[in-house]
Amino acid sequence: MHSSQTRFNVLAAVRGPVTLALMAGLVALTSAAAPALAREGDKAEVFDEAARLVQNNFYDRSLAGKDWDAVIARYRPRYLASAGVQEKSEAINAMLGELKASHMIHATPEDPRYYQLVDIFRFGLRDSIRKHLPSGVSYPGIGIFTREIEGKTFVTGVIAGLAAAKADVAVGDEIVSVDDAPFQPVASFRDKVGSAVKLSLRRVRGGPVSVVEVKPERIEPGKAFRNAMSEGARIIEANGKRIGYIRVWSYAGQDYQDILMEELASGKLKDADALIWDLRDGWGGAQPRYLDLFNARGPDMTFTERSGNTDFASFKWRKPVAMLVNDGTRSGKEVLAYGFKKYGYGEVIGTRTAGALLAGRGYLLSDGSFLMVAVNDVAVDGERLEAKGVAPTIEVPFEVPYAGGADPQLAKAVEVLSEGTKG
């Protein structure tokens, strides 16, 4: 499937207002020229660029029945009246929202998603990256996912091995401020890499604010997600059983599946009695064949070198497994959830997945911002998951605010596997 000119991807959102996650395959990525619509002096070139890319590439030729020129005319004044980068991006995203489709996003360098997406699409964006990100694809941060809930910012995910995890920041923590200023996901840590930063958190509803010290670092998205798989893999002891746990934040490439296989075959999880495969939040990218790892009907194959080092060319996990999903499980991860449930690999625990399964094409626009356009519809076993998602076999709600690090979905998976697993 690989090509020097194209790279196709299926995307889905992480939790948040317009965030997405991604299923790797191959999609064309280009820097687009400004369309003829742009009028000299009105400074709407980037808006017009985005609008015409949607018009020319959206998977539905009817553009969901919209009069697209009328949509452009409605949102263009809002874009022109916007005061800054964030407001202008919001205007573009509002225009994209008219199509009511997943895999539609505009992102700027003030958002970690921008760097994550550019890194995922890096093979097709080499020239544009050299122009707009000459120092490489990385951003200052502490390794968290956040979400705005009722006007407050809450931590929804902590990436193992990065600064927030080292400081024991937990899912459910409310971020009150950073160095006594309002939290901003990138700007709060800009020019502070390696220095101590005061992160003010509230862990209990109505409780006191505590201050922890974190040291921001330059985060290379793909590298961080890969490292987090190994760093976060662990054994959970329950009812005399050893339950393995691993979280896949991104599936945008075969290397993530390789890490999973290695941890199961010869790493931290090799002696586990059962496995919890956590596909909540983050990015998609998975291929249906990744389920083969859990299909016991097939041989293992290993290569052993003269030195004694062993490499697994093929490995099968023949013990119980459960999958964790939520409304941040999107795109390629939904394909896995669908197949895992339909073909009876194990329990799917959590909440319904996002219902965000289209194929997307990414662009770096002339100002360096990122645009994703849904360019293909997708069906799995002939079934369309867009706007539908996959229901779990065991429903377990999870209220994030002030969760204090408690994870009821993970706890349920441990209960199910520890009670049902034979040692």
Final residue belonging to a domain, choices 168, 186, 219: 219
Averaged pLDDT, 233-243: 97
pLDDT band at 12 (very low <50, low <70, confident <90, very high): very low
- At residue 392, the pLDDT reads 98
| Secondary structure of residue 60 in the 3-state scheme | coil
Instruction: Identify whether 152 is part of a domain.
Output: yes
- At residue 29, the pLDDT reads 42
CA–CA separation, 402 and 399 (whole Å): 8
Does the pLDDT of residue 187 top 60, yes or no?
A: yes
Does the pLDDT of residue 4 top 60, yes or no?
A: no
- 34 and 50 assigned to the same domain: yes
Averaged pLDDT, 368-388: 97
Averaged pLDDT, 384-401: 98
Does the pLDDT of residue 282 top 90, yes or no?
A: yes
Instruction: Identify whether 107 is part of a domain.
Output: yes
- 20 and 99 assigned to the same domain: yes
CA–CA separation, 224 and 164 (whole Å): 13
Percentage of the residues of the chain whose pLDDT score is greater than 70: 89
- 242 and 191 assigned to the same domain: no
Averaged pLDDT, 308-328: 89
For 122-152, letters b (16+ CB in 10 Å) and e give bebbeebbeebbeeebbbbbbbbbbbeeeee
- 36 and 178 assigned to the same domain: no
Instruction: Identify whether 175 is part of a domain.
Output: yes
Does the pLDDT of residue 28 top 80, yes or no?
A: no
Does the pLDDT of residue 30 top 80, yes or no?
A: no
Instruction: Identify whether 144 is part of a domain.
Output: yes
Q: Looking at the 3D structure of the chain, how many domains does it have?
A: 3
Longest dimension (CA), the chain: 72
Does the pLDDT of residue 182 top 50, yes or no?
A: yes
- Interior angle at CA 341, CA 338 and CA 342, nearest 5: 80
Which of 306, 335, 337, 308 lies closest to 324, judged by CA?
337
Final residue belonging to a domain, choices 132, 158, 177: 132
Give the domain CATH number at 213.
Answer: 2.30.42.10
- At residue 421, the pLDDT reads 57
- 213 and 292 assigned to the same domain: no
pTM of the model: 0.89
Instruction: Identify whether 242 is part of a domain.
Output: yes
- 199 and 266 assigned to the same domain: no
Maximum mean pLDDT: which of 24-33, 39-48, 352-361: 352-361
- At residue 391, the pLDDT reads 98
- 190 and 230 assigned to the same domain: no
- 264 and 403 assigned to the same domain: yes
- Structure confidence by residue, pLDDT tens digits, 115-162: 999 999 888 888 999 999 999 999 999 999 999 999 999 999 999 999
- Domain around 212: 140-219
- 80 and 144 assigned to the same domain: no
172 CB-side CA count, 13 A = 15
- 51 and 93 assigned to the same domain: yes
Does the pLDDT of residue 37 top 60, yes or no?
A: no
pLDDT band at 361 (very low <50, low <70, confident <90, very high): confident
Does the pLDDT of residue 38 top 80, yes or no?
A: no
Instruction: Identify whether 320 is part of a domain.
Output: yes
- At residue 42, the pLDDT reads 64
Final residue belonging to a domain, choices 165, 200, 219: 219
pLDDT band at 403 (very low <50, low <70, confident <90, very high): very high
Instruction: Identify whether 79 is part of a domain.
Output: yes
Structure token digits, residue 66:
């919209």
Instruction: Identify whether 362 is part of a domain.
Output: no
Does the pLDDT of residue 20 top 50, yes or no?
A: no
- At residue 39, the pLDDT reads 44
- 81 and 159 assigned to the same domain: no
